[in-house]
Every structure is written in structure tokens, then in C-alpha cells.
Structure 1
Amino acid sequence: MTDELNSTYDVIVVGGGAAGLNGALMLARARRSVAVIDAGEPRNAPADGVHGLFAREGTPPAELVARGREEVRGYGGHVIDARVSELARTADGFTVTLADGRTARARRLLVTTGVVDELPDIPGLREHWGHDLVHCPYCHGYEVRDRPIGVLGLGPMGIHIAQLFRQWSPDITYFAHTANPPNEEQAEQMAARGIRIVTGEIEAIESAEGHITGVRLTDGTVVPREILAAPTRMVARADLLPALGLNPVEHPSGAGEYIAADPFGRTDIPGVWVAGNLTDVSAQVGAAAAGGAMAGAHINADLVTEDTRLAVEAHRSLAGV
């Protein structure tokens, strides 16, 4: 049953998206006791389908998660619909406390809570998120191909995103908004590729019948657009981690913040691994799942090392060594 929670596990996974479920799958197949605790707030919930994922192209996000949950349960793992309220270190591992008061202990933690996309406070913008307001050309570019696309100049990635979306549509307009306008070299590149540059601050997004129709500037000018792309600031969902001594840091790209880890998901805090967008802000579903699998395998290897050490100590004790 999905709400079953034992008192102890080898590993507790906090977050039940692609990274968390695939990490749990690897651990359950390694015959580890594992529980996934998920608050049910997937980042990709507004999307119609997952793209760029081999053999699952276009699968609705909720369907993919449901399949993943069943697979984890099929190998004996537990999946709990709950919110984690606290993580604490103990002498032999960690204690995980849920918002409903239940607790469980774990030898290791895998945290895959992802990121939150921060959008600017432009009237009419957020309600289109995940539909005709998109952020990733590799996730949504094919679905909006050949349509009039506006790219919002938000942060350091706006110009780069405009150049990328030009691959999918010949009708791209870059709105500088409050970002610095393109420099001379960038302006030349954009002109050469037919990308229009609009300066001036955006006042609001115009729409009709639930669909974007244009961008209104503060001077009253309305630029017709059907699709908008917004390179969001991605902020790690890491509220639980400072209690363990682990804090988010600014991502080198300037795209937001993340939890630093080695290529296998191991953090600087012994026993704590991370995977997915929490540590790789640009990861699509496939890459997030791969990161979870990598972390799961290395957590198991770490536990094998510990199990071996404990077995040697017990063996020596029995032998009187």
C-alpha cells in the first residue's frame, strides 16, 4: 500500500519524480529496503507530455510517475504520499519526520526535491505556464515549431534561449525587457538570423480565450506573439537540507541555485546524495532519471562497503581477534 511506512530503511528518497523513482528502483533491485516520500508537487505537472525520452516520447507526466511508482513497489519499495517536514542526523544515519508526525530512520538519504521556477511579476504571464509559455526548446520546441515566438530577456540566458528557439521557428522576437540589451556582437548575430530585438519594458501579456496574443510594452505598443519563452530563475527546493549542513549555492551559469555534488550525486555531507534538477538544473526527465540511477547505484556500493566493514568487525569479534 502506498502509505506504508516502516520504522527503518536502508535508504529514504525524498522526492518522487523521475530522479527519485529511478534511484529507488535501482536500490530496490539491489535488494535494499527503500521508501520514496513525495509531496505531489511535480515541476512538469502543467506539461501535456514528456519529450526527448527514449521509448516514452509524449507520455503524460502523471502517467510516467504512476508507472514508476508501480515499478518501485513491484520490487518491494514503498511509496508514501506525504510531505517531509524535517531531516536530522543520528548516530547511525538519519531520522526523517513527516508533516503528519510519522518518523522513520534511514542509513542513507537521496534527496530529489527539484527546483522551483521563478517568473517575473508580469501581469498575465504565469497563467500560461507550461502551455503557451514555455522555457526549454528541447522540451517544447517541436510542439511550437513555425509559430510566432517571443523570448523574454530574463537573466543571463535570454539571448542564448532566443538563439536556440530560432532552430524551431523563423519568427523569433527577443524582448529585452529589464535585461541588458544585446551587445554589438550579439545584435549582429541575431540580425543575421532574422531575430527581431524589441527594447522597452513589458507591461503585460495580452491573451484571448486563454491563449497568448501579444506582448504589451509600457509605451502601449503591442507586439503580436502566440508563444512566449521565459528562461526562468531556477531555485533549489532545499529547505530541509541546511539542518544537515548542506546549503544551496549559485549555479555557475547564473540560471539559479542548486546543490553541489560529485558526478555520482554524493554531496559534502556523508550519507546524503542528491539527483535530478536539485543538482542539475538543466536536466530533462531522461537525464534526471539517469542521475537518480547513478546515485542509487553508488549509494548501494557505499552501503556494501559499510556492510563489509561491519561483517569483518563481527567476524573478528567471534574469532577473538
Structure 2
Amino acid sequence: MTDLPTDLPADTTTDPLVTLPAEADVVICGAGPVGAATAYYLARPGLRVVVLNYDPPGDPANLATYRYSGGSLRWTWPDPVKREMTTETEKFIRGAAPQVDLAMLQNTYHLLHTGELIPALNVSATRLVELLRDQAEERGAQFIDAVAVTGVRPDGSGHMVETTRGTVRAGRVLGAMGAANASVFPQSSAAPEKRQLFVLDLPVPPEREQMPHTIVPVGDGFGYVFLKLIDDRLRVLVGQEDIVEDDDTSGPVDHWSTILDRGLGATLPWLREARVDEILWGVDTAQKTLVVDEPATGLLIANCGSAIRSAAWLGRTLAERLGA
């Protein structure tokens, strides 16, 4: 779908003949930002943590939405929960950045309708997830790739996790597969939502390198325009919410001209010079705070849209619940 290696993970598929363990203390279904972060905070000597990851080539359903996310993070919010979630993640990222290249940019959010300038970061979502995974493995978590979870059923005081390569019995299970949770866990209450980002062909000369992440009210919604390092090159990206309704989850839809004509082009006329090089899209969770369903004791189904910006808080919070 895209040739943007900064934000697409390396091939982590392991030998398909790797044997699934018969038992684990905790099984985490999904190795995206929520699953990898939870494994990072949960893993410790003596606790058998197994993370099951299914990563079909090309991600045809575009369910691994973090790969195509903007990776932008602000930590000043009126909502105290969002503020806590993002502040903890910002501190984690800053602590990791000196040792690991997260393609980090320091910038600001500029809210045109309020005049606010809010400190912010932009990072590579896939590099952050890879870091969490690597450090979770160093702490003793076992990641098994190329295995799809097909169901979870009760088994005495625990659960049997059914997969395409056998079953694993676990005392506690976390469903952390993003929008794919719904296909395995019908009890999940989170709502799916399509998201798109337009990568533009605009140049980024020195005078544009400090452009803030600009939030533009348009009708009942808003557009956002920001810079991101992609393949070591600064690119201009544009996203939108509620300017154009788009529920087509079969693929990207190019409504760039519509967004411009409905008001974004009038506020930021320089965008009319642009062509769309690439549309990054995915199916995410609509709610941007943590939604946890617990249909049975020891079985948690976790969803959180825009999980990258809250990854550290999400991982710690879920690890505490699973480790209890």
C-alpha cells in the first residue's frame, strides 16, 4: 500500500514451525501499541507472558492502523484522563529517544480557533511499537508471529486461546487487536472508525520546517495539517474529522478536493498547490480513551483509538489489571 519505510515495520515473521507453548500465565492477543506496551510493563522473571501476533502480508484489511497513523502527540488537554494518558507517554518517549531513533520531531499544535500554541511531538508509530516489543522480549515476554487467534473459551479457572496453530491455556487473556478485536471477541463494545491521512507532494523548504501542527475548524469538523519525517524526509500530511463522512472500509477514498472546497482551502490557500502522493488509511477504534470489557474473570478486551499517543499509560494500566 505504501513505500514509507519509516512508518512500516520490518518483517518480523518468525519460523512458522515455532511451537506454541501449552500454557502461559498471560496471553496477549495482538502486538500493536496496546499489546506490545502491556507486554513491556507486564513482563518479569517468573511470569510467563506470551504475545500472539498475526501480521498478514500487506495488511489487506488495514486493521493495523497504527502503521498508517500520524504519530502526533500532545499532552495538554482539559480532560484530566487524556492529560494523564498522554503526559505519561510523552515522558516515556523522551526517555527512550536518546537511545533509539523514533524519527521524533518537536513541534507545537496551533489551534486556529482559540489561538493556542500547545507543545507536541511527532514520532514513528512503528518504531515506537518495535521498541516496546524489543524491550518486552528482553524482560522475558515471548512473541510468536504468524499465528491468528480464532477464539477464546473458558477452561476451568482459566481460558483456552484457540489459534490457527493450536491452543494455549492461560490464567489471564488480553484482547488487544484494535479493530480486529470485534471479529474474535463479539463482546467488545468499542466502535470501529475509518481514518485517512493525505501525504502531499508539497516541498518543505527551510521556512516551512517549523510549521506547527495546525488545527483548522471547517463546518462541523476540522482539518489538521502537520509535518512528519517519512523515510528521513519531511512531508506535509493532512487529516480530517467530520468534514467528509467516509464509512467505506474497503479502501482509501480520495476526497481531497472536497475537503479543500468545503473550507480548508479558503483558510490555508497554499494547500491548493498540492497533489496527493499517497493516502494512508486504516480502521481504528472510535473512542480515544481506554475501553475495557471483561466478559469473564481474567479475560480483558481493550480498545483505544489513537493508541500511540497513550501507549505507555495504556500498557501500564492494563499490566496492573492483568498482574493483579
Alignment TM-score, normalising by the size of structure 2: 0.51
Q: How far apart are 1:22 and its partner, in Å?
A: 1.9
| Separation in structure 2 between the aligned mates of residue 73 and residue 274 of structure 1, nearest angstrom | 22
Structure possessing the higher radius of gyration over alpha carbons: 1
Task: Give the aligned partner of residue 270 of structure 1.
Answer: 297
Which of 140, 143, 163 is residue 76 of structure 1 equivalent to? 140
Tell me if the contact between 1:274 and 1:295 (Cα under 8 Å) persists in the aligned partners: no
One-letter identity of the residue aligned with 2:316: A
| Separation in structure 1 between the aligned mates of residue 311 and residue 33 of structure 2, nearest angstrom | 6
Task: Give the aligned partner of residue 131 of structure 1.
Answer: 199
Which of 290, 297, 310 is residue 313 of structure 2 equivalent to? 290
One-letter identity of the residue aligned with 2:298: G
Task: Give the aligned partner of residue 60 of structure 1.
Answer: 124
| Separation in structure 2 between the aligned mates of residue 143 and residue 110 of structure 1, nearest angstrom | 41
Is residue 205 from structure 1 mapped to residue 256 from structure 2 by the alignment? yes
Tell me if the contact between 1:17 and 1:112 (Cα under 8 Å) persists in the aligned partners: yes
Q: Which string of whole-angstrom CA distances, capped at 9 and with x for unpartnered residues, describes residues 59-103 of structure 1?
A: 43332222222212212211011221222221231111222x321
Identity level (%): 18
Which of 20, 25, 41 is residue 5 of structure 1 equivalent to? 20
Which of 159, 166, 183 is residue 94 of structure 1 equivalent to? 159
Which region of structure 1 is more displaced relative to structure 2, 43-52 or 104-113? 43-52
List runs of 5+ in structure 1 lacking aligned partners. 120-125, 133-141, 180-201, 207-212, 237-254, 302-321
Tell me if the contact between 2:211 and 2:226 (Cα under 8 Å) persists in the aligned partners: no
| Separation in structure 2 between the aligned mates of residue 44 and residue 151 of structure 1, nearest angstrom | 25
| Separation in structure 1 between the aligned mates of residue 300 and residue 36 of structure 2, nearest angstrom | 14
Tell me if the contact between 1:150 and 1:175 (Cα under 8 Å) persists in the aligned partners: no
- The alignment partner of 2:296 has SS state of coil
One-letter identity of the residue aligned with 2:300: W
Q: How far apart are 1:108 and its partner, in Å?
A: 0.5
Q: How far apart are 1:286 and its partner, in Å?
A: 4.2
Query: Of Structure 1 and Structure 2, which has the larger fraction of its residues in strand?
Result: 2
Q: How many residues align?
A: 214
| Separation in structure 1 between the aligned mates of residue 71 and residue 217 of structure 2, nearest angstrom | 22
Alignment TM-score, normalising by the size of structure 1: 0.51
| Separation in structure 2 between the aligned mates of residue 203 and residue 49 of structure 1, nearest angstrom | 21
Structure possessing the higher relative contact order (Cα contacts under 8 Å, 6 or more residues apart): 2
- Give the 3 Å change call, closer, same or farther, for CA 167–76 of structure 1 in structure 2: closer
Task: Give the aligned partner of residue 118 of structure 1.
Answer: 194
Is residue 224 from structure 1 mapped to residue 305 from structure 2 by the alignment? no
One-letter identity of the residue aligned with 1:89: P
Task: Give the aligned partner of residue 173 of structure 2.
Answer: 109
| Separation in structure 1 between the aligned mates of residue 241 and residue 319 of structure 2, nearest angstrom | 41
| Separation in structure 2 between the aligned mates of residue 271 and residue 62 of structure 1, nearest angstrom | 29
- Give the 3 Å change call, closer, same or farther, for CA 272–259 of structure 1 in structure 2: farther
